[in-house]
Amino acid sequence: MHEVFFDYLKKFRSEPLTAEEKELIRQTFTPSKLRKRQFLLQAGNQCKHFAFIVKGAMRKYTVDDRGVEHIIQVGIENWWMGDRESFVESTPSLYHIDAWEHCELLCITLEGTLQLQERVPAFRDMKMKLDERNMMANTRRLASVISSQADKRYTDFVECYPELIARFPQHIIASFIGINKDTLSRVKRQLNLK
């Protein structure tokens, strides 16, 4: 499993990892597996691990007072999953995170993250670039939910994340873009007519 992560890090730094860096990564990340619908985190618990998805698909969501799920994040291979606020601040999470498909993960603690940032330049570069991308994506998503019509939200989602369309059902995609599944069905029908 660790080899997948070593390959992933190559996207962020051209110099290859040293044998010492690879060993430190192996010692810091714990391999884990989740069955479909098994939780990585439940609301009210502290997020003690961030997970790199080696194989599978996951979702992060809240459940409102009426029992309706609201999708905050979805992830597939080579994506990260966790609750950053709970992870960093050691507070109870507001979110549930579960496996949408059977998953193979590499999990890391906050202590491990800080250690790798200090000792593995490729990891530090990766984290910095991912933090920047995450901030931009969240800002773009917030602006879309506030100001864009349903058809624009969907077409933007398809354009940005075409690989997710086949991995997640319509109701999860609809929730992620802030519409209901009936509206998404209507939008898809209208787009197919064009």
pLDDT at position 14 is 84
Task: Please provide the CATH number assigned to the domain covering 2-122.
Answer: 2.60.120.10
pLDDT at 74: 97
Prediction pTM value: 0.92
CA dihedral 170, 176, 163, 82 (to 10 degrees): -130
CA 41 to chain centre: 13
pLDDT digits 0-9 by tens, 106-163: 999 999 999 999 999 999 999 999 999 999 988 988 888 888 999 999 999 999 899 9
45-56: buried (b, 16+ CB within 10 Å) or exposed (e) per residue?
Answer: eebebbbbbbeb
Q: Where are the domains of the chain?
A: 2-122
The C-alpha atoms of residue 31 and residue 15 are separated, in whole angstroms, by 25
